[in-house]
Amino acid sequence: MKKGNDHGKHKYGMVIDIDKCTGCGTCMVACAAENNVSVRADQSDKERTITWMRLYKISNGKEFPHTEVSYFPRPCMHCDHHPPCVSVCVATATKLDFNTGIVSQIYTRCIGCRYCQAACPYGARYFNWWDAFPQDKGMDRYLTPEVSPRMRGVVEKCTFCHHRLMRAKTLAYAEDRRELEEGEYVTACTEACPAQAITFGDLNNPEHEVSKLIKHPFTFRLLERIGTEPKVYYHSSRDWVRKLGDNFLPGEYTPVVNKTWAEEEWSTKPGRDEF
Amino acid sequence: MDSPLLPHGVKRCSTWAFFFWTLPWLALLAWGGLSAFLCLWKGLNQTNMSNVFAFALWIVFDLAVIALGAGAFFTGFLTYIMGQKELKNIIKPAVIIGFICYSGAMAMLGIDIGQPIRGWFIFWHANIHSMLVEVSFCITCYLMVLAIEFIPIILENRKLEEIKELRIFGHSLHEIMAVFAATGTFLSFFHQGSLGGMFGVMYARPFAAREGFYIWPWTFFLFVLSAIACGPCFTILCTKLTEFFSRKKLVPDSAIQLLAKISAWLLSLYMVLKIADYLGWMYGIIPRSGLTFESFFREGPYGVYLVVCEIIVCGILPAIILMVPKGRQNQGWLIIACLLNCTGIVLNRFLFIVVTLAIPVMPFDRFWGYLPTWQEWGIGFAVIGYGFLLFSAAYRYLPIFPKERELNPITE
């Protein structure tokens, strides 16, 4: 058994290109449908609705005509270093899998104390305030058979569509393969994004696109300074977007102005914010 | 009607007067019972808790009553381990208050978890890295210790004492009370501490996160210290309240003064360490997270005034009043100081629970506010009602104040 994730065989993660994201919300819909996320007739109480993948609208705060708007799609970050939610869980209902890097949630073991929600700075964990689905509406016919619906009173979160990994592995085993090809296992949000803003893959595999993208200077992570080591990366050529990825004291943020995406090398041209 | 049950040589109100006295507390219990039923039947959607406020009023109540109930273990420690015989005059009410606080907190926690039937998973699937596991283990064990400490007090009831076996059992338990006092002290130290540790270890929430010693964040030690600083004050307040309603003196001033003096020293030490903790946090964790102290209070209903209130009005001020002999000897000032001290500790717990969750960590997220529903208040107030009922019944039927007869001779 592997002792630490750095030595793990696979480390699944994603890179979300914020410059490509149009904020259409398809990732949210695909995620909810794929993962049997509970819905209610009235979804207006946003403090209590469940959105494993959630879009945050951000703005550069400037007046027209300099206003720019963008979106942060936020799944679970699947923190790689000492995930804040894992160590606090009283009943060992959540765990970081060192072989895949996925932070899992065992619904049938969760007692619903919500300590993990309090510990997570990304708001990626959701509590089932109501029973799963209206029983008499026939909605159970639309459920994904591979994903168990959650009962009232437990916490749930994005699993990187773990069932898709299981499915891909089963298929590979049937074909007498022990390793998955790139693209064989992707999350529902990755597959659904019409702008192809999400790239998913094995961060430990140098052949995978994600492992190349995370080395780019425009790539950053949410709240990197806190030290949670998220496996979800973001990519943007705009400094104001990158700056919103973390908290900075005045003068602390260093803009990446000398690197241009097109040339893939250091140059003296200013970054996009300068135009 | 119930005179054969009343202790010898003391005066108690009539049965009817006692019955009417219990009505408001029974009403609170009924309100709480209805709220609990709704929460268990319909789920926690009956509350205003949310994915933002995963912890809310009930956890504030829990942490508050557990801190206030620390008077039980600490008075026990002072009486039986440190040999402060004077405190024997107040140890019984302290134990009863502790029992009320801890059993009330446990009952609330049972409703607060989303799957109450799975509560035992904490013990079965225990995650030893979780501070909340340590809290659960120690609180459960300590509640048993408190129950054992409560039994001999119950057995002192006039009717029960007539049964020889029970009398011998009660007296035997008295003999070994030091063992339970020591066990209680050990357990309490760890759960009061780990309640603080629970918040200090949330390293991804810069408002609550603290550095510390080995695996224990500073909040671990500060919570222990704050609990033993306010616990005795809460015991004094409850005693004074009983004296007010019964219109007699029940505890000699020497015992109250001793507790007040000890509380004063502990509160002063706590204040020094708490201010140091605030400074260390403001110049350490906050700037390292790219934040400033002011940024936590930029929006929303929770402002810097809460911290000012906690430290100055409800911390330094009561510490000074209790420290000055003239201050603590004056009944009015003593009660004000005890009230402020207890309020300060509750405020501290509120800051760590509700304010921590109200402050967003992601720069593009917003500040939040929270107001409890009547169901949440109902369950909170039910604990208060339960406390009043149990303490009143204990006062009426058990000789919990050893000096009551001496201080209030019946002249008939």
- Residue A257: predicted pLDDT: 61
Choose from A90, A220, A236, A249 for mutation: most chain B CBs within 10 A.
A90
Residues of A in contact with B363 (CB under 8 A): 244-247
Q: Which of A48, A227, A245 sits opposite B50 (nearest CB)?
A: A48
Residues of B in contact with A47 (CB under 8 A): 50-53, 368
Q: Which of A91, A122, A227 sits opposite B122 (nearest CB)?
A: A91
- Residue A275: predicted pLDDT: 39
The full set of domain ranges for chain B reads 49-370
Q: Which residue spans within B182-285 are E strands per DSSP? A: 212-213, 216-217
- Complex ipTM more than 0.85, yes or no: yes
Q: Which of A58, A111, A223 sits opposite B121 (nearest CB)?
A: A111
- Residue A102: predicted pLDDT: 96
- Among all residues of chain B, which has the CA nearest to that of A108? B118
B 188-207 residues with CB < 8 A to A = 198, 201-206
Angstroms from A34 CA to nearest CA on chain B: 22
Give B32 or B190, the one with higher predicted confidence: B32
User: What is the average pLDDT across B74-95?
Assistant: 91
Amino acid at B281: W
Contact A88 B126 (CB under 8 A): no
Residues of B in contact with A227 (CB under 8 A): 203
Give A272 or A8, the one with higher predicted confidence: A8
Running DSSP on this structure, what letter comes out for residue B186? Answer: H
Q: What is the CA radius of gyration of chain A?
A: 19
- Among all residues of chain A, which has the CA nearest to that of B109? A113
State yes or no: pLDDT of B2 exceeds 90: no
- Would an 8 Å CB–CB cutoff place B358 in contact with chain A? no
Confidence of residue A8 (pLDDT cuts 50, 70, 90): low
Contact A87 B365 (CB under 8 A): no
* CATH value of B49-370 in 1.10.8.420, 2.40.50.100, 1.20.1630.10, 3.40.50.720: 1.20.1630.10
Tell me the pLDDT of chain B averaged across its residues. 93
User: What is the average pLDDT across A71-76?
Assistant: 96
Residues of B in contact with A88 (CB under 8 A): 129-132, 198, 201-202
State yes or no: pLDDT of A2 exceeds 50: no
A220 SS3 class: strand
User: What is the average pLDDT across A159-167?
Assistant: 96
Tell me the pLDDT of chain A averaged across its residues. 88
- Would an 8 Å CB–CB cutoff place B282 in contact with chain A? no
Contact A121 B204 (CB under 8 A): yes
Please write down the HEC assignment for all residues of B10-26.
CCCCCHHHHHHHHHHHH
- How far apart CA B16 and CA B340 sit, in angstroms, is 35
- Residue B264: predicted pLDDT: 96
- How far apart CA B53 and CA B398 sit, in angstroms, is 42
- How far apart CA B313 and CA B325 sit, in angstroms, is 19
User: What is the average pLDDT across A141-163?
Assistant: 93
- How far apart CA B153 and CA B171 sit, in angstroms, is 10
A 132-171 residues with CB < 8 A to B = 151-155
State yes or no: pLDDT of A38 exceeds 70: yes
State yes or no: pLDDT of A266 exceeds 60: no
Contact B291 A249 (CB under 8 A): yes
Beta partners for residue A199, in sequence order:
A15
A69-78, A162-171, A228-237, B79-88: least confident range:
B79-88
Confidence of residue A4 (pLDDT cuts 50, 70, 90): very low
The Cβ-side half-sphere exposure at B212, using a 13 Å CA radius, reads 22
Residues of A in contact with B125 (CB under 8 A): 91-93, 109
State yes or no: pLDDT of B386 exceeds 90: yes
CA distances, A123 to each of A217, A235, B357 (Å): 26, 21, 10
Contact B55 A112 (CB under 8 A): no
A21-25, A107-111, B65-69, B78-82: least confident range:
B78-82
Choose from A150, A226, A228, A238 for mutation: most chain B CBs within 10 A.
A226
- The pLDDT tens digits for B95-138 are 999 999 999 999 999 999 999 999 999 999 999 999 999 999 99
Q: Residue A223 belongs to a domain with what CATH number?
A: 3.30.70.20
- How far apart CA B320 and CA B327 sit, in angstroms, is 8
What range defines the domain where residue A207 resides? 5-274
State yes or no: pLDDT of B254 exceeds 60: yes
- In chain A, the number of structural domains is 1
- Would an 8 Å CB–CB cutoff place A107 in contact with chain B? no
A 25-44 residues with CB < 8 A to B = none
State yes or no: pLDDT of A213 exceeds 90: yes
- Residue A258: predicted pLDDT: 55
- Residue A267: predicted pLDDT: 44
B92 SS3 class: helix
State yes or no: pLDDT of B412 exceeds 80: no
Residues of A in contact with B54 (CB under 8 A): 114-115, 117-118, 127
State yes or no: pLDDT of B174 exceeds 90: no
Contact B54 A72 (CB under 8 A): no
Confidence of residue B405 (pLDDT cuts 50, 70, 90): confident
State yes or no: pLDDT of B146 exceeds 50: yes
CB–CB of B309/B347 below 8 Å?
A: yes
- Residue B10: predicted pLDDT: 85
Contact B113 A113 (CB under 8 A): yes
A73-77, A139-143, B10-14, B108-112: least confident range:
A139-143
Angstroms from A110 CA to nearest CA on chain B: 8
- The pLDDT tens digits for A81-126 are 899 999 999 999 999 999 999 999 999 999 999 999 999 999 999 9
Give B2 or B294, the one with higher predicted confidence: B294
State yes or no: pLDDT of B200 exceeds 60: yes
State yes or no: pLDDT of A271 exceeds 70: no
